[in-house]
């Protein structure tokens, strides 16, 4: 067991974990953050995407011990005071989800993408989501959701 100390969705966590435990398992099994899900075992699908120190990572591809000292944000930590994040709103507005299993990862990756490039083209959005698989939407409305979120943010700043 290895001691770790980190911040998850704004709350500090102290724990003892097996070194082999993946960050996604830690979030799900020990913290009950089941909003973050596991979709594959080869880091292709991106369903487990969270932010580690402000950057999107695949939490199935990080050991919990490697997150020691880090700040982790999951899909469950996005809404503030009951108000959804703009990207969450946009996914609902544009029907960017169907079964919803890939959605937490898509949303977390979208937020990262827009942080880096607030005004992406459609092509940039599509490339920016290359690490996230969806089987329901054909991506059409996911892309629309991301572009909508970018527009809304622009509108908010204007």
Partner 1 sequence: MTTTQERPAEQADREIGKDRRRKEDQRLITGRTRWTDNITLPGMLHLAMVRSPHAHAHVTSISTDAAKASRNVVTVLTGADLAETQGVLINAWAITTDQVTPTHLPVAIDRVAFAGEVVAVVVARSAAEARDAAELVDVEYDLLPAALDLKEAAAATPENGGALAHPDLGTNKSALWIFDSATAGTGGDVDAAIEKARGDGIVIEREYRQQRLIPAFMEPRSTVVDPTGEQITMWSATQIPHILRFALAATTGVPESKIRVIAPDVGGGFGGKLQTTPEEWIVFAVARRLGKPVKFTETRSESLMTGHHGRDQWQKLTLSAEKDGSVTGLKVELLADLGSHVSLVGGGVPVLGAFMFNSIYKFPAYQFNCQTVLTNKTWTDAYRGAGRPEATYAIERLMDELAVEVGVDPFVIREQNWITHEEFPFTTVAGLEYDSGNYEAATAKAKEVFGYDELRAEQKQRRASGDQVQLGIGISTFTEMCGLAPSRVLGSLNYGAGGWEHASVRMLATGKVEVVTGASAHGQGHETAFSQIVADRLGVPFEDVEVLHGDTQIAHKGLDTYGSRSLVVGGEALVLAVDKVIERAKPLAAHLLEASVDDMEFSQGRFSVKGTDQGLGIAEVAMAAFAAHNYPEGTEPGIDAEATYDPVNFNYPHGTHLCAMEVDTETGAVKMRKYVCCDDIGNIINPMIVEGQVHGGLVQGIAQALWEEAVYDDAGTLVSGSFVDYLLPTAADTISFEVEHTTSPALTNTLGTKGVGEAGTIASTPAVVNAVVDAIRHFGINDIQMPCTPERVWKAIHAKDGAGDKPTEGAAMPHFSESEPGTDSTEGAAQ
Partner 2 sequence: MIPTEFAYLAPTSIEDALAALAEHGDDAKIIAGGQSLLPVLRMRLNAPEMVIDLGKIDSLRGVRDDGDAIVIGAMTTHHDVLHDPLVAEHAALITKAVEHLADAQIRHRGTFGGALAHADPAGDLGAPTLALGAEFVIAGPGGTRSVTAEDFFVDLFETAIGEDEILTEIRVPKHTGWGAHYEKFVRVVHQWPIVAVAAAIRSDGSTISEAKIGLTNMGNTAVRARATEAGLAGAEVSEEGVRAACDRAAEGTNPPSDLNGGADYRRHLATVITRRAVLKAARG
Partner 3 sequence: MELAHRFTVPTGVEETWAHFEDVASVAECFPGAAITSVEDDTFAGTVKVKLGPIALVYSGSGTFVEKDEAAHKFVVDAKGKDKRGNGTAGAKVTLTMNASAAETGSTDVEVLTDLAITGKPAQFGRGVMQDVSDKLLGQFVSCLESRLTGPGEDAEEPVAKAVEPTATPGAVATSPVEAVDPVTRVAAGTPAASPPPARPVAAAPAAKPMPQDDSLDLGATVIPILLKAYWKPIAGVVAVVGLLIWWLAARD
Binding-site ranges for partner 2 (CB under 8 A): 2, 18-22, 25, 41-44, 46, 49, 52, 55-58, 60-63, 65-66, 68, 109, 112-113, 127-128, 130-133
Task: Please identify, using beta-carbon distances, which residue of 53 and 61 lies nearer to partner 3.
Answer: 61
Residues 80-119 that bind partner 1 (CB under 8 A): 84, 88, 91-93, 95, 97-104, 107
CA distance 50 to 71: 10
Q: What are phi and psi of 114, to 5 degrees?
A: -75, -30
Binding of partner 3 at residue 34 (CB under 8 A)?
no
Residues 47-86 that bind partner 3 (CB under 8 A): 58, 61
Contact 75, 35 (CB under 8 A): yes
Characterize the bridge pairing of strands 2-8 and 71-73.
parallel
Binding of partner 1 at residue 152 (CB under 8 A)?
no
Q: Exactly one of 68, 139, 152, 153 binds partner 1 (CB under 8 A); which one?
A: 139
User: DSSP secondary structure string, 42-67?
Assistant: SS-S-TTEEEETTEEEEGGGSBGGGG
Q: What are phi and psi of 38, to 5 degrees?
A: -110, 120
Task: Name the minimum Å distance from CB 47 to partner 2.
Answer: 11
**Residues binding partner 3 (CB under 8 A):** 42-44, 58, 61
């Amino acid at each position: 067991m290895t001691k770790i100390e980190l911040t998850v969705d704004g709350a500090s966590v102290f724990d003892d974990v097996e070194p082999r435990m993946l960050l996604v398992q830690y979030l799900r099994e020990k913290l009950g953050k089941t909003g973050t899900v596991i979709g594959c075992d080869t880091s292709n699908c991106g369903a487990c995407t969270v932010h580690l120190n402000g950057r999107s990572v695949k939490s199935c591809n990080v050991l919990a011990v490697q997150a020691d000292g880090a700040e982790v944000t999951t899909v469950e930590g996005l809404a503030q005071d009951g108000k959804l994040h703009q990207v969450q709103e946009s996914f609902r507005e544009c029907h960017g989800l169907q079964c919803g299993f890939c959605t937490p990862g898509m949303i977390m990756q979208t937020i990262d993408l827009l942080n880096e490039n607030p005004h992406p083209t459609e092509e940039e959005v599509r490339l920016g989501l290359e690490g996230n698989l969806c089987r329901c939407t054909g991506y059409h409305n996911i892309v629309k959701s991301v572009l909508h979120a970018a527009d809304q943010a622009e509108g908010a700043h204007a």
